[in-house]
Amino acid sequence: MAVEHLVIAGKSGVGKSTTAANLSAALAETGKRVLLVGYDSHWSSTSVLRGGNDLIPLPGWLGEEAPLYALGHAGALCLELGTALKSGAATENDILTHPLIAGYDPEYVLHDTAGEPAGSFKLPAGIEGLSRLLAVTSADMCALQAVNDLFAWFNTIAAAECRFGGVVANNLSGPLYEAIVSDFASQTAAVISATVPRSIMVSVSDFYSQTLLQSAPFSHVSFAYRKLARSLVRGMESRRPRPLSREALSSWAQKWGDIISELETGVVNGGLGI
């Protein structure tokens, strides 16, 4: 079966690793062969998926900084690239064609990208086959700005072979925040593929070193990841989003600034009270 690459992107701290690990678990629990690749120099992308399992160097690696791997929840394979790529010790392609990885023959490779995507986003090199980008965001303006930059990247030649897997609206504290992301998505014609509430269970699962699907299998959040996994397996529609221009984004932000401040202060534009 052909491999599908799922690239998880977004501003730092929005929940990319949380999304990547729980989506990996949801796919693996349905019997898919899943490889989660972490690019974080602290090897933290896979920590909840591999639970207590130690990372060990890929066997037979000749370079100095071997990528590390471990078996994770529901048979998912975890791979941490650490600094191997930055130091030029390896390319993604060397790693994905390594006998241990090729022998596992993943159906889904999830790439938990690290760092800021703004302006300079690049797909991990060496991706061959179908790739789909999931844009993770909270309702914060800087996270949405980063998503708008990702949407602009979709109009470049570098994105020609990449499909859009939708927005993962994460860490939302209630209806107001859902309305902000949903309005941004409708302005940019973007599909929201998952809505994940802010949940203390995410911190609990971090403390337990488990995915949410293990520590809180019947929680709302776990169901959101299972639903996302199902829609990806079905091969969701991938209409391309349309980024807002700088001016349109700035007036959109102004509009939401006004709405939030009116709700907070009870004073609407023009000095009227509500």
Ligand X SMILES: Nc1ncnc2c1ncn2[C@@H]1O[C@H](COP(=O)(O)OP(=O)(O)OP(=O)(O)O)[C@@H](O)[C@H]1O
Residues that bind ligand X (CB under 6 A): 12-18, 40, 114, 170-171, 196, 198-199, 202-203, 206
Q: Is 222 an interacting residue with respect to Mg ion (CB under 5 A)? A: no
Nearer residue to ligand X within complex by CB, 96 or 212 = 212
Q: Is 18 an interacting residue with respect to Mg ion (CB under 5 A)? A: no
Gyration radius of the chain's alpha carbons? 19
- Cα four-point dihedral sign 28, 57, 94, 60: negative
Nearer residue to ligand X within complex by CB, 95 or 146 = 146
**Per-residue CA distances from 108 to 3, 118, 139, 273 (Å):** 6, 26, 28, 54
Exposure string over 163-182, b if 16+ CB within 10 A, otherwise e = bbbbbbbbbbeeeebbebbb
Nearer residue to Mg ion within complex by CB, 9 or 244 = 9
**Measured between alpha carbons, how far is 104 from 34 in angstroms, rounded to an integer?**
9
DSSP-assigned letter for residue 58: P
End-to-end CA distance of the chain: 59
Contact stretch for Mg ion (CB under 5 A) within 12-20, 191-199, 218-226, 238-246: 12-20
Contact stretch for Mg ion (CB under 5 A) within 9-17, 132-140, 154-162, 203-211: 9-17
Residue 215 near which of ligand X, Mg ion, none (CB within 5-8 Å, type-dependent): none
Q: Dihedral (C-alpha) 75, 43, 131, 93: value to the nearest 10 degrees?
A: -100
Residue 13 near which of ligand X, Mg ion, none (CB within 5-8 Å, type-dependent): ligand X
CA–CA–CA angle 243, 8, 49 (5° rounding): 160
Nearer residue to ligand X within complex by CB, 188 or 222 = 222
Q: Please choose, from the candidates 150, 145, 142, 143, the residue with its C-alpha nearest in 3D space to the C-alpha of residue 166.
A: 150
Q: Is 47 an interacting residue with respect to Mg ion (CB under 5 A)? A: no
- Give me the least distance between CB of 27 and ligand X, in Å please: 17
**Measured between alpha carbons, how far is 48 from 139 in angstroms, rounded to an integer?**
24
| Residue with tokens 């570098």, as numbered in its chain | 158
| Residue with tokens 């202060």, as numbered in its chain | 265
Q: Is 17 an interacting residue with respect to Mg ion (CB under 5 A)? A: yes
- Give me the least distance between CB of 145 and ligand X, in Å please: 15
Nearer residue to Mg ion within complex by CB, 18 or 193 = 18
- Give me the least distance between CB of 256 and Mg ion, in Å please: 26
Residue 213 near which of Mg ion, ligand X, none (CB within 5-8 Å, type-dependent): none
Nearer residue to ligand X within complex by CB, 28 or 202 = 202
Residue 211 near which of ligand X, Mg ion, none (CB within 5-8 Å, type-dependent): none
Residue 50 near which of Mg ion, ligand X, none (CB within 5-8 Å, type-dependent): none
Q: Which residues bind Mg ion (CB under 5 A)?
A: 16-17
